[in-house]
A and B are shown apart, each in its own frame.
Chain A
Amino acid sequence: MDRLASTVISGEEPASQPFEATTVRDRYSRSGGSRIRVWLARLGVTLFATVAVVGFLSPLILSMTVSIKSIEQISQPGQPVLASSPVTYNYNGRDLTVYYVQVDGKTEQLALVSSNRAANTMRFVDPNSPDAPPIVLTGNRFDLSIVYKIDPQFQNFQTAWNDLGFLRELLNTIALATIETIGVLLSCTLVAYGFARFRFPGRNVLFILVIATIFLPTFATIIPIYTIFTKVLGWQGTWLPLIVPAFFANAYDVFLLRQFLMTIPRDLDEAAALDGAGPIRTLVSVILPQAWPAVVAVAIFTFVYSWNDYFGPLLYLGSSQDLWPLSIGLATFHGQHNLQEPGVVQAATLMSIVVPLIFFLVFQRFFVRGIRITGVET
């Protein structure tokens, strides 16, 4: 089970299927022509997957390119893909735009000094020989293309960091996610242990109720909860409405942990019980050391879930900017600045996804295992 889960993403074949390689069809395809066909098929499938994945991830790449662009470049059509700005040439104290110009069949980069629409003429100066007489050509400057140079606006990240109050929101996000993770780990481990190791009347009914809450719409319960938290307990503008429920277990993580605990043999528990260990000591010294993959999975899930949560902060922290995590900070920043400074907004967005992405890349096996357990086994 353990091994199978970790092979899902790494792509190794599970060891339990040793006959996979020699299927009927393969035995007939040992000859040279068929082998080429198999390789062509592999190339075709891989090429298709590559195109699909590039398209799938292209918004991320677009966001990166936009994050270092100026507003001038983003708002005008027909601009280069990469962050660039028009090349200018300072001539007699004026910044002139440089164009690609056809002179005697050759393309030259010339700075436009002036254009006369009535006479349909343009006067250019060559930046390489500014003292030469101006070159006069017929035509319209709108038919020419502007010369661009690569010009990334890395200061967009600096602007986003300062304007968003990024550091404070980052620390808020980390603090909230850490507290919620502790709450979920404590409560869900206890509840899962109760379901996995103890027999008591009503256990199956209660477990079905746990599963049923996965399918319950948020709005079926949120109105009284919000009213109690804010009007009765006065928790509006505090982290308490986000933190407190985490300490009372949730269906997904209880289910995930319970499924994992069920796979741990009971021999060691029973040995510990014979040695006089109580249920809590058995949990801490026997069960948890064996259950750590599932515990880590739940910890990562909760941390990332909390990091990404937007609805909770939107309800309870709306006007308390000092307490905002990144999600609501970014949404508000987007609402205020997206029209004027899309580059800065994308820079802020990219900064806000760095931590979850690193988390994912480091712990991807645990992610996959957790989703598999909750998804396939219900």
Chain B
Amino acid sequence: MTGLALRRSKGASLAQREARWGYIFLSPWIIGFLAFTLIPMVATFVFSFTNIELNSNRPVEFVGLKNWQDIFGDSQMWASLGVTLKFAILQLPLAVILPFLIAMLVNSKRLIAPGLFRILFFMPYTVPFVAGVVIWEQMENPTSGWIGQFLGIFGISAPNWLNDPTLIYPALVILGLWGVGGGMIVYLGGLQGIPSELYDAAKIDGAGWWGQLWHVTIPMMTPVFLYTLVLSIVDVLQYFLVVQVINNGVGEPGGTTMFYNLWLYKNFFTYGHEGYASAMAWFLFAITLVITLGVFASARRWVYYAGER
């Protein structure tokens, strides 16, 4: 009796000790989560109802919904949201599908020296962001850039992409192509995780290359598509650093590169309108949340999880 009681009390204290060590090891993240995520998120929300200014010592007061009314009444805010959404519609399909196509290519059994191609396609992913932008800007230069010169072979005159309000978005999408290496590796990992029995079974059923792609590869890859799509959405809604490098974030040509986050950045860092910027930040967060939750909700219909039957 006493032995059992002793063992039980000792067991409880072991579990408690284990839990205590667990929390101790987690403490860097818990502190970081509170200090750099949770409290700042709440603070941003609270700021959005105040007249707080970045560079002013004026006492901070609650102003109710004023900042929210201001941002919804600001045509520049809506224009910048439109710019971001327009760019997103153009960029997202490419960001999700192109890395998959490259992964299919470098995973092909028909490819000679696949390891070399994987390294070469992945390599630009490690080129520093600013360097990548500067290099691609040169590539799109109308006189010395190779894209223009290549088009010139077919008699198409070199476009001045980066200064053309209609071609600026394709130019920026192309400029971002060097990031596909990361997505390629993620898809490649997914492709190699597909059991080969599935392909064998499909072949016995008479499926050709297309049949295998459509009935085996794509269904098995849907979880990876979901992951890439959600991360790409979060990324593209925050897009602005590229135009900050290219033309110092002035929005040229003709306001077409005044992305939502650039307008937010300017309101906060340049004008110091902290309350206004906070409302913008939370509005963007809400948009991101609604879209990604929508994607996750739709995932039931199109994402296949091998574990579920």
Contacts and interface: CB of A to CB of B under 8 A. Distances in A.
B10 to A, nearest CB: 15
Interface string A76-101: 11010000000000000000000000
B77 interface: no
Contacts of A308: 126, 128-130
B193 A376 contact: yes
Given A63-B135, A206-B26, A217 B238 contact: yes
Nearest to A215: B234
B199 A23 contact: yes
Which of A186, A191, A231, A359 gathers the greatest number of chain B CB atoms within 10 Å?
A191
Interface stretch (B68-76, B106-114, B165-173): B106-114
B126 A359 contact: yes
Interface residues of A, number: 113
B213 interface: no
Question: Chain A contact residues: over half helix, strand or loop, or mixed?
Answer: helix
B36 interface: yes
A279 B241 contact: no
Question: Chain B contact residues: over half helix, strand or loop, or mixed?
Answer: helix
Contact of B192 (A8, A58, A222, A304): A8
A56 B121 contact: yes
A342 B102 CA distance: 32
Interface in B22-47: 22-26, 28-33, 35-37, 39-41, 43-44, 47
A132 interface: no
A142 interface: no
Interface stretch (B1-9, B89-97, B223-231): B223-231
B196 A17 contact: yes
A4 B188 CA distance: 11
B130 A331 contact: yes
B138 interface: yes
B143 interface: yes
Interface in B267-302: 268-269, 274, 277-278, 280-282, 284-285, 288, 292
Nearest to B192: A8
A200 B23 contact: yes
A178 interface: no
Contacts of A24: 200, 203-204
A327 interface: yes
Interface stretch (A38-46, A104-112, A149-157, A290-298): A38-46
Interface of B: 15, 18-26, 28-33, 35-37, 39-41, 43-44, 47, 54, 102, 105-106, 108, 110-124, 126-131, 134-139, 141, 143-146, 177-178, 182, 185-186, 188-190, 192-193, 196, 199-200, 203-204, 224, 227-228, 230-231, 234, 237-238, 241, 244-245, 248, 261, 264, 268-269, 274, 277-278, 280-282, 284-285, 288, 292
Closest 6 CB pairs of A and B: A248-B32, A194-B25, A375-B186, A198-B22, A11-B115, A200-B19
